[in-house]
Chain A
Amino acid sequence: MSFSLDAIYKNTSWAINQHSSKLALLQEKAGTGQEVNRVSDNPTVANQILGLLSDNRSKMQYMESLDEATSVLELSSSVLQSMSTQVANARSSLTSIMSGTTGNQLRENLATDLNNALEQLVSLANTQRLGQSLFAGSKDSVVPYNVERNASGEITRVIYQGSMEEKKVTVANGVEMSAVLVGSNLFSPDNRDVPVFYGQTGVQAGTGTSTVRGDIYLQVQGSAGSWQLSIDGGQNWVNATGTETNLPVVNSQTGEVLYLDVTMLSQSGTEPIRVTGTYDIFNSLISARDQLENAEEIPEAQLKEMLNDIIDEMQVVEQKLTSAFPVVGGRVQTLTALRESIEEMKLNTSDDISRMQDADISQVAIDLARYEVLYQMSLSVASKMFSMSFLDFMK
């Protein structure tokens, strides 16, 4: 078998090219620390790595969403705590004043305190974080609670203008969670009871389901057979003959309806009415404040009874607020657990990526040494092959 110069050259060239390519690849692996630097290096593994990298980026986003939602809920929890404290303090003050002798000055002072507490509660209910209202539901770009004030600047009505829908955000694959709560659901108990009548007019609750909330004052005028009734300060008078068992009286300002049984109606006057189970944190304080101020000049006995009742309502409201803590806390806990779980999954995914993509540096070092030796050997053998010739022995 003969070896031509061309064959020796080609063999050497091929061997050197092969080893150079290997060395270049190993150099790249050593430089980047990665076994797979481009998809064509190992398409199957690259396919998995690309999927895992995408998963990891999604998990990063989920963790950001979770952090955001947790921050919102934690702030909400803190605000709810403050509101609960405000209501508890107000109730405590009202209870203490009711247990002793109450002078007008003391009542006025407490009314002022309750008014201040009300202002603070509205302010707390309208708390925003990064321009996002905490208790406006999905309508979180608006301030959820709007107030109406009387001539002296006191809040007479607090109106919820947020959304009744919670705003849901995606916090994990297929998992949605509400971070912005619906204030109306948190601050308003929804166990409407039959209206309670404190006056002497003789009217009673009708069979229909009324929509009035909190304290209202029914004005009755006229005489037997021809009565007029109003719940909006006389702006809308409803006629009654005294035979109606389910007479709707509509507040022309708010649209609230009070169904009355007027068959026992016997005298005109102002009838304080309370609908238990419909007080929220705002109108309970408004009621308490107004009763302490007693602008309607309600007799002392009735007033005391009403104040005692409002204390009970405030307790219900406080309980409603307190019941929100576990809801919010539960969500925070869920989110925290979810975050931990996602973080762990992310770590595992990163491990998988590292396992598949990272180069085994010691193996790379060994391979580098091996191919270096092979490279040198190729050169050495070629040199030997070229140097050995029969010509050397010819004379």
Chain B
Amino acid sequence: MAGYEIGVSGLRTAQRALDIIGNNVANAATEGYHRQDIDLRPADESYTGGFLIGQGVDFTGIIRRINTLIEDQILNQDATMSSLNRQMESLRSIESALGELSTPGISTAMDDFYNALYDLSLRPSDITLQSSVVSAAQTLTNQFRNVASVVNNLQDSTYSEAQTTVQEINELASQIAKMNEVIYSQKVRGFDASNMMDQRDQLVLKLNRLAGVNVTEKDYGQVDVSLSDIPLVVSANATEIEVNLQQNGNYSDMVLLISGTQQLQGNITGGSLGGLFSLHNSHLRDILDQLDTLAQTIISETNKLHVQGVGSNGSFTNLTGWTMGQTNVSDFVPAVGAGTIYVRVTAPDGTITRTAITVDSSSTLQSVANDLAAVPGLEDNTGVHTGRLQIVANEGYTFDFLPGVLASPSSYSPSPLAGAGAAASQAPPTINVSGLYTGSINQDYTCTINTIPSGQTCAIGTGTMELMVQDGSGSTIASLNIGEGYEGGSEIMIENGIKVSLGSNGLSPGYLNDGEQFIINALADSDTSGFLAAAGINCFFSGSDASSIALGEDIVQSTSRIAVSRSVEQSDNANIVAIAGLGDKAASELGGLSAREYYVNLTVGVGNSISFTQLQYDNAQGIKKSLESQRDEVSGVDINDQAMQMMIYERLYQAMSKYLNTISDSLEAMMSIIS
């Protein structure tokens, strides 16, 4: 009855083929579906009537059309694209927050701030211009805080998104493991599991988009999936993972752990989780770091100048610092080094004294406060109150930290100068020092009287008398005539903007003796330790980074506290000009760039990152598209092709039916002969 068997095998094969074609067509639009083809072979021959005759067709199985090499490459590109796409989303958010070109950003705010300072230098006591500076400074600080807030929020959302992503990864890993188990059981029993494998592979694809995994194929259609060093899925078993934060210096690193362990895993680079790791631990941190560095530099450099100056209201009666978290100056931020603070106190009678206070690594907020409280004129109320340094002048006194020179020499030799005798008409001259010291170091100028012949006593403007001036290194920098030809009281330039005048004193024309000396103490920096800026005394900005930068409380309350002057005459605009110049001044903290340049670099850096990431994304997309085309050739369902095959198998079915009819008719005819 071989004819029946042949016919039945043909019918069965055609039926199965049509089933497979139906399945293919039904899944033509299914994402991740791999075309299935029927695998046929001629059935074994049987020896009939001395001849070997074929016994029809054997259905050997269903072929799942898949090229694993292409599939692996697609997975890689897919994971890369997910990672890059996630990075781009955040970087674009930052670019929008920075807002340069399209909307005014920090760059514009910085320019406006420094320009407002230059404007104020034109009329330092103009309240409108002072208000403009305050307004521009507030805009700048708001911009910094806004951008820092965006970056910080992105950091936070990156972490929470990573946690959600890890939950999804765990869920997918668990599903893949279950699918592995089912596929295995099907395959072991010899059943086709192509559709299940496609379903499982879709889960792997999703997982890959989330984390960029490595997939290893095993026997019986199972796959093992690993993420970095973690064996996420092994056959039917899944390992749960979790994401956590770990302190790394001033920052928190996002780390990946196997749940229930403290075992840190390697870097995750692929998939959206890789993108989140890259954003959190690298991109966002770098941007925040640069923003913080810029804000810190602007704060510290501005304050360093501001603490030394005075506003249009002149010297202070009280100043209050910030609440200090630390008591040891060595722990202060910004860093405080060993140095000296020079405080100038003006008594009610106009007498000015300058006192030096030493700060070193063993100093504390309290010890410096104690030293300040020991300065005559500051004794009554100066101290540390609720963690804040308060410097309060006694009734009628004022104080400041102006550098430069005092109106009188700091010391005389002999002290006092001898003059020509004890009578009022024989007194030594009045010596006035003036000018804005433009030198860059603190130094003492020693002025020695030289007469010719030596040993003379001369009145100012008489005889042959010179003032020999030596700088801090002992080099003679000038010999100035103060004898005949010198008009007493007129100013003569020493160096670096310092001028001295020697004139009559009461009833005396002013007598000097050969060899007498006086010393002029010139300060370029009245706080070489940086203590005042760190403690928040007379600061323009408060805060320590981009998130906390703000305008000093005192400045907000009174715009006249903007320290415009730095000469002891308190009439100049030198301090505000110096602060305004900071915008273009190169700073070592900023890698030798100015604040403006550094910020432009930061902005362009973000733009470059986006541009580069976009390029990488486009490349990956192009490669993926090409790979998908290749995959489609192997695994795609061509409706026309399937329709033609359907016709073939339909014809096969019809033919085999006809064949069976023929066999049946033949047998029936034969049976009728017998009967």
Contact = CB atoms under 8 A, between A and B. Distances in A.
Interface of A: 1-7, 9-10, 14, 32, 34, 36-43, 46-47, 49-51, 53-54, 57-58, 60-61, 64-65, 68-69, 130-132, 138-142, 163-165, 167-170, 173, 179, 192, 207-211, 236, 238, 246, 248, 250, 252, 255-257, 259, 357, 389-391, 394
B248 interface: no
A250 B95 contact: no
A252 B572 contact: no
B571 A47 contact: no
Given A39-B101, A131-B125, A64 B489 contact: no
Contacts of B119: 61, 64-65
A6 B436 contact: no
B503 interface: yes
Given A14-B625, A54-B600, A40 B614 contact: yes
Given A40-B95, A165-B436, A170-B580, A2 B571 contact: no
A39 B604 contact: yes
Which 5 A/B pairs are nearest by Cβ-Cβ distance?
A4-B636, A39-B607, A40-B610, A2-B638, A139-B571
Contacts of B488: 209, 211, 257
A4 B459 contact: no
B107 A163 contact: no
Contacts of A46: 100-101, 603-604, 607
B112 A4 contact: no
A255 B632 contact: no
B435 interface: yes
B403 to A, nearest CB: 16
Interface in B437-491: 459-462, 484-489, 491
B491 to A, nearest CB: 6
B635 to A, nearest CB: 8
Contacts of A54: 107, 111, 596, 600
Contacts of B115: 57-58, 60-61
Interface in B589-628: 596, 600, 603-604, 606-608, 610-611, 614, 625, 628
B312 interface: yes
Given A57-B112, A61-B119, A389-B643, 7 more contacts: A6-B33, A7-B636, A39-B606, A39-B607, A57-B115, A68-B123, A163-B569
B425 interface: yes
A50 B328 CA distance: 43
6 contacts: A39-B98, A138-B572, A208-B484, A246-B462, A248-B508, A250-B508
B586 interface: no
Nearest to A1: B633
A208 B640 contact: no
Contacts, number: 225
B106 to A, nearest CB: 11
Contacts of A163: 569, 571-572
B95 A39 contact: yes
Contacts of B573: 138, 167-169
A131 B126 contact: yes
A139 B112 CA distance: 27
A43 B611 contact: yes
Contacts of B102: 32, 37-38
For chain A, what secondary structure do more than half of its interface residues adopt (helix, strand, loop), or is it mixed?
A: mixed
B40 interface: no
Nearest to B88: A40
A195 to B, nearest CB: 13
A17 B573 CA distance: 59
Contact of A50 (B35, B101, B611): B101
A289 to B, nearest CB: 26
Contact of B509 (A14, A58, A248, A389): A248
A94 B125 CA distance: 42
B461 A210 contact: yes
B434 interface: yes
Contacts of A259: 461-462, 509
Interface in B95-140: 95-96, 98, 100-102, 107-108, 111-112, 115, 118-119, 121-126
Contacts of A58: 111, 115
B639 interface: yes
A238 B506 CA distance: 13
Contacts of B503: 211, 255
Given A46-B101, A46-B604, A390 B639 contact: yes
B29 interface: yes
B569 A209 contact: no
A208 B639 contact: no
Q: What's the interface size class on B, roughly? A: 35 or more
Nearest to A258: B509
B577 interface: yes
Contact of A36 (B101, B509, B639): B101
A3 B642 CA distance: 11
A123 B430 CA distance: 32
A360 to B, nearest CB: 18
A339 to B, nearest CB: 15
Contact of A394 (B95, B101, B436, B647): B647
A140 B570 CA distance: 11
- Interface centre among B31, B126, B435, B571, by most chain A C-beta atoms within 10 angstroms, is B571
Given A40-B614, A140-B571, A257 B461 contact: yes
Contacts of B434: 164
B588 to A, nearest CB: 21
A354 to B, nearest CB: 13
Interface in B636-675: 636-641, 643-644, 647
B413 interface: no
Contacts of B460: 257
Contacts of B604: 39, 43, 46-47, 50
B629 interface: yes
B571 A40 contact: no
B111 A209 contact: no
A132 to B, nearest CB: 5
B628 to A, nearest CB: 6
Contacts of A164: 434, 491, 499
Interface centre among A132, A142, A209 (most CB of B within 10 A): A209
B62 to A, nearest CB: 18
B462 A50 contact: no
A389 B639 contact: yes
A5 B28 contact: yes
Given A4-B632, A6-B29, A39-B603, A167 B643 contact: no
B226 interface: no
B637 A4 contact: yes
Contacts of B607: 38-41, 43, 46
A142 B571 CA distance: 9
Interface in B475-519: 484-489, 491, 499, 503-509
Given A2-B638, A139-B571, A246-B462, A256 B600 contact: no
A194 to B, nearest CB: 12
B633 A2 contact: yes
Contacts of A246: 462
Contacts of A51: 600
A38 B98 CA distance: 10
A170 B461 contact: no
A211 B629 contact: no
A165 B505 CA distance: 24
A6 B632 contact: yes
Nearest to A162: B571
B180 to A, nearest CB: 26
Contact of B640 (A37, A57, A169, A389): A389
Contact of A391 (B425, B633, B637, B639): B639
A40 B611 contact: yes
A310 to B, nearest CB: 21
B111 A57 contact: yes
Nearest to B603: A39
A169 B459 contact: no
A37 B101 contact: yes
Contacts of A10: 625, 628, 632
A139 B487 contact: no
